[in-house]
Amino acid sequence: MSSDTQQTAHKQSFFVKGMTCVTCVKHVERAIKKVDGISFVSVNLATESGFALSNQEIPFDELKKAVSNAGYEITDSVAPDAMQKRFQEAGRNLILSWAVTIPLMVMMFLHMSGRHVPAFEYVEPLIAALVIFYTGRHTIKGAWIALIHWHFNMDTLIFLGSVTAFATTLLALVGLKIASFGSIGAMIVAIHLTGRYIESWLRDRAAKDVKALMQLQATEARVKSEDGWVMVPIEAVKLDSLVRVYPSERIPLDGEVVEGASSVDESMITGEYMPLQKQTGSPVTGGSLNLNAPITIRVTGTGEDLFLSQLISMVQDAQGTKVPIQALADRITLWFVPAVLLLAISAGLIWFFRYDALRPMLTSFEKAIPWVNANADALSHSLFVFVATLVIACPCALGLAIPMALIGASSLSAKKGLIIRNGEAIQTAGEIGAVILDKTGTLTVGKPSVVESSVPDELLPAIAQLETQSAHPLAKSLVEYAKEKGLHRQVVIDEVLETAGSGIGGKWEGKDLFVGKPTSLEPYRLWAEKGYSIVEARVNGDPLGAFAITDPIREDTVEGIAALKAFGLKIVLATGDHEEAAKRVCAETGIRDYRSQMKPSEKLTLIHESRHGKEKVLMVGDGLNDGPALKAADIGIAMGSGTDLAIDSADIVIVRGGIPQVVESIRISRMTFRIIKQNLLWAFLYNVIAIPAAMLGVLHPAIGEIAMAFSSITVILNSLRLKYHRD
């Protein structure tokens, strides 16, 4: 369930530049945690984003100073073209590195085959220096930042490996009898740049859903002023302002249509591709597209209160969340680079001092592996092993295994109308044994309506007019019923008086009209047995009929309950409504177990009672009274139409849809955890095989670097299976 830190009042989102692997992430997180007041911090390597929770307002400059002291750069926003500029620079470096490395490789192979290339001993260090120290300058910078702050990262391994290879060229140039590996150093950097470029491109594709949402945010709105309609920045628009939106323009802010009618495309937000008809009184969402006619809206939401802003925030938080299994991966990767460095040094020293004893093994390998040279000297081979071990063992795949899976999960869930806010829910979903469901707004539409009536039509205009002055939840359903029958019109009602728990009355055409609680349920026994709410109409004290009102079951509820049953889950309806209403819902949906007239404290007790052994409990609700139960459950799912407390207390939010989305959330969570385990298995297995091979001297550094890049790319591609999953 959600940790206590999620209740912290203040949250700051940010972006971090310069991170290359999970050790960088841990270093940044440690630096931010040292800031007074910070209670929780999460940084995502895949999106280069993060957020910090605190129990007080913390100036952004304090976070900036802490991260800067750690050697990295933090910003509160990213320029729209920043990623494109970075890709362009990376592309130029990549092209240049291969443009000079490929000819160098050709010359190296010719030189090795006995065809001496004139001045090769001078050309090799020049080209290798250009590739390693110019095109690979960002790698050197990353390694230097890590080293001066007393930690190691992926760049450290590449830097040490390539520079060691380059050093052999200089040593050979001054006359030392040692094999020159300068060309290998250039190849290592060129392959590394290629892998990082592909990796960044794939990561950018995986995160493009959030960027697409951000692009929906308008920067200006056409606001009505004393001088007419003027374009003003979004930040300057106030609540209740009138905003004009023309066809083919995006609606800039949340609002309500006050003039005009049009079709609106909300597909990027809701996933529903059929345009919705909007007319006077219809709500509209900022970011949606006005299609065919001008409309005027009254602004009802600005800034962080906008639906789109909240959606973007929730998706970003979901991508930055962590699962319990990540603690294991983090502990391993924290010591991974120092351990690899130690292994590389140890392997190099062993080969140097025990070369003659180990040489027969090289002779046997030489017959099957073309790059193994049993005739090399001890120093040359020990350096070869040192470089190979450094570049083959990279924590990138381990660091990306979980964040990339979470990005894929958040993208898929967003398409399904879900936001997974808490990563722990992903790991817990496979252990769910019971599902507790609220009724109103969860299984039902959450909007009472008249299903049967025995009231004469001639009374409906007066009843509707009377009910417009009532604050009772059922009053609106009577008004809507009259509108549906075309009988809602202005009627004079005097001396209106509403009595709590009884009803509302007034004078109509000289008669006493009263609408409310029946004097007796006997005439409406069949309705009562069905769990309907009954509202009676009386004129001068005489009953003239009644309305049967109910909150209809959502169209997709029965399908969703059947799917939950197929998972083998125990399903319990927990409602604060009366028993007859609970029975009706159970009869219509196929739920066997229910609890009625439940208080919030009783729902909490039910959650604790529903736990059996290792089985977890999932709670679904949308009301203010569901907040504590959602918080207490192992997984809390809130309907997006519910209250802020319910949403804030939930691990998963259903943006649109009903119970079938609960099924989707369980399915996506289980699938995501399966992908995470596959990613970690692949990353661990790759290193378990590759590191010993490099230490034995049978793995070429260039091939090791290719394999390292392939490992990271494989993890990303496996995670993208989630993003593009099809039912």
User: Tokens 């005739």 label which residue?
Assistant: 375
Q: 594 near 583, Cβ under 8 Å?
A: yes
Q: Enumerate the β-bridge partners of residue 637.
A: 620, 652
Dump pLDDT digits (tens) for 602-613.
888 888 888 776
Task: List the catalytic residues.
Answer: 438
Q: Enumerate the β-bridge partners of residue 11.
A: 53
Give the pLDDT confidence score for residue 8 in this predicted structure.
Answer: 41
Average per-residue pLDDT in the chain?
Answer: 82
Assess whether pLDDT exceeds 60 at residue 271: no
What's the whole-model pTM score?
0.65
Assess whether pLDDT exceeds 80 at residue 93: yes
Query: Phi-psi category of 595—alpha, beta or left, where left has phi over 0 and alpha has psi -120 to 50?
Result: beta
The CATH code for residues 217-314 is 2.70.150.10
Residue 235: count of CB within 10 angstroms of its CB:
10
Q: How many Å from the N-terminal Cα to the C-terminal Cα in the chain? A: 28
C-alpha distances in Å from residue 254, one per residue of 213, 214, 268, 601: 15, 15, 15, 35
The CATH code for residues 424-445+554-650 is 3.40.50.1000
Question: pLDDT grade, residue 242 (50/70/90)?
Answer: very high
More confident residue, 317 or 522: 522
Residue 142: count of CB within 10 angstroms of its CB:
24
Dump pLDDT digits (tens) for 465-485.
898 888 777 888 899 899 888
Dump pLDDT digits (tens) for 123-138.
999 999 999 999 999 8
Half-sphere exposure of 419 (CA within 13 A, CB side): 26
Residue ranges covered by each domain of the chain: 4-78, 83-208+321-403+676-723, 217-314, 424-445+554-650, 449-550
Half-sphere exposure of 201 (CA within 13 A, CB side): 11
Dump pLDDT digits (tens) for 403-412.
778 777 777 7
Give the pLDDT confidence score for residue 157 in this predicted structure.
Answer: 79
Q: Mean pLDDT across the stretch 151-174?
A: 85
The CATH code for residues 449-550 is 3.40.1110.10
Sign of torsion over alpha carbons 18, 19, 25, 27: negative
Q: Enumerate the β-bridge partners of residue 244.
A: 222, 296
Assess whether pLDDT exceeds 60 at residue 3: no
Q: Which CATH class is domain 4-78?
A: alpha beta
Q: Mean pLDDT across the stretch 62-68?
A: 90
84-88, 116-120, 294-298: segment of lowest average pLDDT: 84-88
Question: pLDDT grade, residue 689 (50/70/90)?
Answer: confident
Q: Mean pLDDT across the stretch 550-576?
A: 89
Closest of 476, 494, 498, 485 to residue 455, by C-alpha: 485
